Structure formats: structure tokens, C-alpha cells
């Protein structure tokens, strides 16, 4: 995991700085990492979830491709 550094500039104020920090956390995947480490998952369950996510992505892209082909 990477450390996030943010310089607070007096011109922007606290609100914009907090928004920038939240955006940086989203970009670095801090919240996603935290949620994944929140509870232990067996390696077999992780593998199953990974396969299901890949299948879902595959189906999603294939339907997008099918829709664009039928529009023409």
C-alpha cells in the first residue's frame, strides 16, 4: 500500500482539501483495500469470486459488442 501525501494550501481551504484527499484515496484504492482486508476470506472463496467477476465482465463486454453490431 502506498502512502498518500497532501500539502494543505491556505488558498483552497479545508473543504476542497478534504475533497481532494477523498479523490486521491479513491484513485489509490484505499477504501477498496480496507474492505477486502476487513475479514478473512479463504483462498478457495477468493478464487471463486474472482472467476465470477471475470465471467460477469466477459458477459458485459459481449453484450455491448452485440448491441453495437446490431445497431449498424
Whole-number Cα distances in Å, 5 to 8, 24, 28, 62:
10, 9, 12, 40
Number of helices (H), then strands (E), belonging to the chain: the values are 3, 0
Going by the DSSP 8-state scheme, the letter that residue 72 receives in this structure is -
> What pLDDT digit, counting tens, does each position of 8-36 carry?
888 888 888 889 999 998 998 888 889 98
The residue ranges of every structural domain in the chain are 1-39, 41-72
Q: Residue 63 — very low, low, confident or very high, per pLDDT cuts 50/70/90?
A: confident
Most confident by average pLDDT, 24-33, 45-54, 61-70:
45-54
CB atoms within 10 A of CB 51: 10
- Name the strand (E) or helix (H) holding 8: none
**Sign of torsion over alpha carbons 31, 33, 39, 42:** positive
Amino acid at each position: 500500500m502506498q502512502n498518500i501525501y497532501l500539502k494543505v494550501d491556505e488558498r483552497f481551504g479545508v473543504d476542497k482539501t478534504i475533497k481532494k484527499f477523498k479523490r486521491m484515496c479513491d484513485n489509490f484504492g484505499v477504501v477498496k483495500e480496507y474492505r477486502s482486508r476487513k475479514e478473512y476470506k479463504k483462498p478457495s472463496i477468493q478464487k471463486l469470486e474472482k472467476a465470477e467477476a471475470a465471467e460477469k465482465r466477459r458477459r458485459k463486454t459481449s453484450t455491448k459488442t452485440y448491441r453495437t453490431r446490431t445497431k449498424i
